[in-house]
Chains A and B, each alone.
Chain A
């Protein structure tokens, strides 16, 4: 499992860069960033090298932010292997709410996803021989 920070952003010009500036000023490195947005607002999801520090810096700056746990795996080298893992999760009725990929600390590609049944997901992935993070 890895930790991600979710930040609520109202749809206002410069809001994303304000958020990045807070992290930069706190000396935090971003490992990944993804945004889900609508016409009125967005949810920014980031993974950093120091989530606790990042969360407190964002909260102090007035950003509505929270820490969320994601199930994460290293993307296998073999072609078709990732699809097999996702099919296994689907067949095991693990519901994935959202997912995205990012670079791991070792440079390998990784995938993180949010699910309502993380224990089940982890067990299934282990059975399939996936490399959990």
Chain B
């Protein structure tokens, strides 16, 4: 199965543009009429819905930020009365209020369609067994991929998160060929599968997976693909827009195909908020073109990435989202330098003496920021000399300093001692906030 919805996925650029224009005009009018915060935002800059005539006018519209959603908690942003909504999803908030998104049945259908396109990109078809190890609940990961599997006509195994031994048992017994979970969890699963001595291809019959909800690097992808002999696709989504399925890699990995018939992406400069062209890194901004329950106009995702419009051999014509390189929320400022955990990850993954499990400790000593990166040694290396360990540490230290432009203390620890997480990995301890 090559495409889930060929006509849309391979639509010509001109047709796509026309469709996006028509949908943007409609959604702006709809938002103005049904969402008080948008009417207020547009009135404040004297912008009328009729001023938006095509997708080229999108830059005239005001941005939406996470705080707007918090201010409107719980129902202030909804465009429909509760009687029309069928689902509420909320994003995990580390501080303060949750952000909530309401979905109508049509929104759920669109979401499922988009996520089903992604499953096909990972190699699924209607004969597949789709094992979903994302958490089910307010978090959109579990249910999103669940609906996607159903929409595709596959068999869905709603394993949810946790209980790894049982998950592996299910993978073996039900012969799942497609898995959906976070990248850190699939690595953990691969480790456990290796420990149990199960044979890849014989006991574990996976051939593809979509992995998201966390930033991960190209090196991690190679590691996952090699260990499990699967196609590992990066999937993008966020609960405010729609869960997983907003964008996903195909087998050619030219960037994640953005479902730009429903979600229109822009990249803007982090400081000036000016729109940037293709291949330039900035904050990803998304406009929902068809949502009914809670449309969002130019929503600032806080994800740092770039877009590309290069043709893809798979035939899909959508714009592509390059790997998320960081989250403006996760960004650490160490002695004035911006550091993203993903940069650290890519250095670690190039070094075969260690494993991609790490923890970052940030502190302030004598008014100077310090950063310690605790890294696990690989269980496959033999170490009998202090000098050998020092060599590994010095190499990492030097590579890290050149990649981050700021020095970090590297602490090497035994395999298995850095805490594994079954959900979003919590890799940073910033003690500066406590002082």
Contacts and interface: CB of A to CB of B under 8 A. Distances in A.
Nearest to B409: A40
Contacts of A63: 414
B414 A45 contact: no
A66 B415 CA distance: 13
Interface stretch (B21-29, B214-222, B272-280, B375-383): B375-383
A90 interface: no
A97 interface: yes
B385 A8 contact: no
Given A8-B377, A38-B390, A41-B389, A68 B382 contact: yes
Contacts of A62: 414-417
B172 interface: no
B417 A66 contact: no
B412 A10 contact: yes
Chain B, interface size category, equals 10 to 19
A45 B388 CA distance: 14
A64 B415 contact: yes
Label chain A's interface by main secondary structure. strand
A59 B78 CA distance: 56
Contacts of B386: 36-38, 41-43
Contacts of A42: 386
A84 B383 CA distance: 30
A68 B383 CA distance: 9
A6 interface: yes
Interface string B264-275: 000000000000
A45 B416 contact: no
Interface string A49-90: 000000000010011101110000000000000000000000
A37 B389 CA distance: 11
Contact of A43 (B379, B381, B383, B411): B383
A116 to B, nearest CB: 11
B413 interface: yes
Contacts of A45: 384
B372 to A, nearest CB: 11
B411 A40 contact: yes
Contacts of A37: 386
Nearest to A59: B379
A98 B385 CA distance: 9
B411 A6 contact: no
A68 B382 CA distance: 8
Interface in B395-427: 411-417
Nearest to B415: A64
Given A64-B377, A66-B384, A8 B411 contact: no
B397 to A, nearest CB: 12
Contacts of B416: 62
A64 B411 contact: no
B417 A10 contact: yes
Nearest to B413: A10
A66 B382 CA distance: 5
A113 to B, nearest CB: 12
Contacts of A36: 385-386
Contacts of A64: 377, 379, 381, 383, 414-415
A37 to B, nearest CB: 7
A4 B384 CA distance: 9
A6 B384 contact: yes
B414 A6 contact: no
A19 to B, nearest CB: 10
A40 B386 CA distance: 11
A114 B386 CA distance: 13
The 3 closest A-B pairs by CB, nearest first: A6-B384, A66-B382, A68-B384
Interface of A: 4, 6, 8-10, 36-38, 40-43, 45, 59, 62-64, 66-68, 97-98, 114
7 contacts: A4-B384, A40-B411, A63-B414, A66-B384, A97-B385, A114-B384, A114-B385
